[in-house]
């Protein structure tokens, strides 16, 4: 079970974007995530008249390793760790480690 999923609000712990907050838009691989507004790079794009795209310099979000981000707890206003709790009916839910509150799924 992945502790950080698509749609989660996260905060960057390390790197040049340290302290920035964003939303996970996708999982690029097992260990890397795409976060909105984080780890942006400038990419030079050639024009392609067949597809109707213009050339130029485009800002693109690149994947960031999941060890460099943490889930953002809105109740405490800080980064938090994620735990797994098994309910009575056998369903597994994600909870914040600091206060035990259930993480709302997107």
What residue spans define the domains of the chain? 9-79
66-91 tens-digit pLDDT: 999 999 999 999 999 999 999 999 99
* 3 vs 17: CA distance, rounded Å: 21
Q: Which residue do the tokens 């979000």 mark?
A: 61
* 103 vs 15: CA distance, rounded Å: 26
Q: Which residue do the tokens 């009575």 mark?
A: 88
12-33 tens-digit pLDDT: 999 999 999 999 999 999 999 9
Q: Name the pLDDT band for 1 (thresholds 50, 70, 90).
A: low
Half-sphere exposure of residue 35, counting CA atoms within 13 Å on the CB side?
Answer: 26
Q: How many residues does the chain have?
A: 106
**9-79 has CATH 1.10.150.120 classification:** no
* 94 vs 50: CA distance, rounded Å: 47
pLDDT of 52 above 70: yes
Secondary structure of residue 16 in the 3-state scheme: coil
Q: Which residue do the tokens 């790079």 mark?
A: 41
* 102 vs 106: CA distance, rounded Å: 13
């Amino acid at each position: 079970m992945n502790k950080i999923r698509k749609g989660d609000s996260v905060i960057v712990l390390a790197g040049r974007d340290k302290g920035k907050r964003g939303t996970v838009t996708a999982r690029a691989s097992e260990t890397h995530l795409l976060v909105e507004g984080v780890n942006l790079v400038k990419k030079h794009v050639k024009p392609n008249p067949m597809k109707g795209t213009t050339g130029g310099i485009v800002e693109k979000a690149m994947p960031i390793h999941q060890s460099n981000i943490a889930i953002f707890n809105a109740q405490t206003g800080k980064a938090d760790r994620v735990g797994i709790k098994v309910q009575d009916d056998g369903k597994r839910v994600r909870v914040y480690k600091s206060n035990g509150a259930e993480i709302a799924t997107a």
